[in-house]
Amino acid sequence: MQLYEVEAIKALAKQRNPTQAQRLLKRLADQIVPILTKHKFQVRHLQEFFPKDARLLGMNLNRGWKVFIRLRPSRKPDTFYPYEALLETLLHELTHNVYGQHDEAFYKFFAQLKKEAEDLMMNGLSGRSGALFMGSGRGHVLQPNSTSAGDYRHKAALAADIRAKRTLLTKRSAHFLQGLDGQARKQPKFTPSQLREKAYEAAKKRRLDAMQCVIVEDSSDTTALTAWICSQCTFRNLKDNTYCEMCLCPESSITKNHTASKKSHAQRTTNYDLENVIDLRAS
């Protein structure tokens, strides 16, 4: 079996606890090997970033050529987000390897990746062993002779811990593991007012996700970097839009970002401080 692994990981050396950040990235990279292998995703670089925009959690450059993850809260950069939260963000960015827009197809595939990740974590698997586990078609338990009694107890405790953490993870709106049981549910009936409320909530979620991650299709594609943010509702609009898609307010020259410019070997924007972590040219 050909393994698809993250080729390189890099934490921010100028932030506090860079060794711990590097370990977190390494753990994340190992955790997704089975998923990368199953879907034949290639991720060349997994890197930490710490953008000025506190809402930005991740960025996918060139469909996995480089994936950036915010490891730390903006107001407490000496601490780290919970591991499950970081994994959720990473899975969100991996979904952009297939789907660019936050639409129904995106969220359906995103849910599939989260279910796969949960199955792996429930069995305490990652890396090559996890890839073999997924490749075998087994999605529930390991063979009896493949592990010791102590390992079984450890895996049972891990599974219980994951279930306990779900309540914590569902408190965050964008990139945390939630609703991963994969069970089909009967379509509920809604009144017209409830349908309008659901449509509003869906639009709000898409808007939030659009603010929390950036997708750049190629190194010359500056569409994501030249978008403008509405001063009224904070929705990130495409550069060609003269009116906000969410609230129909006209574009303001004050809120429009400038086109990214080259500086040394890096590109950066006024919104994202990427100069320490991103090189848009071939490494």
β-strand partners of 228: 237, 256
Judgement on whether residues 125 and 236 belong to the same structural domain of the protein = no
Q: Residue 221 pLDDT > 50, yes or no?
A: no
Considering the domain architecture, whether residues 130 and 230 belong to the same structural domain is answered as no
For 222-279, the DSSP string reads -TTTS-EE-TTT--EE-TT-SB-TTT-PBP-TTTBPPPPEEETTEEE-SS---TTT--
Q: Residues 255-270: pLDDT tens digits?
A: 444 333 333 333 333 2
Query: What is the pLDDT, as a whole number, of residue 161?
Result: 59
Residues 129 and 239 grouped into a single domain: no
Say yes or no: 249 and 130 in one domain: no
State the CATH number of the domain containing residue 76: 3.30.2010
- Is 186 part of any domain? no
Please check the confidence at residue 272 and state whether its pLDDT lies above 60: no
Mean of the pLDDT values across residues 28-47?
93
Q: Is 100 inside a domain boundary?
A: yes
Read off φ and ψ for residue 254, nearest 5 degrees. -70, -35
Residue at 280 is within a domain: no
Question: Which residues span the domain enclosing 245?
Answer: 226-253
17 occurs within a structural domain: yes
* Residue 148, domain member (yes or no): no
Structural domains in the chain (count): 2
How much is the mean pLDDT over the chain? 69
Query: In which element (H, E) is residue 20 found?
Result: helix 18-31
| 250 pLDDT tier (thresholds 50, 70, 90) | confident
The reply to whether 230 falls in a domain is: yes
Task: Examine residue 47 and state whether it is found in any structural domain, yes or no.
Answer: yes
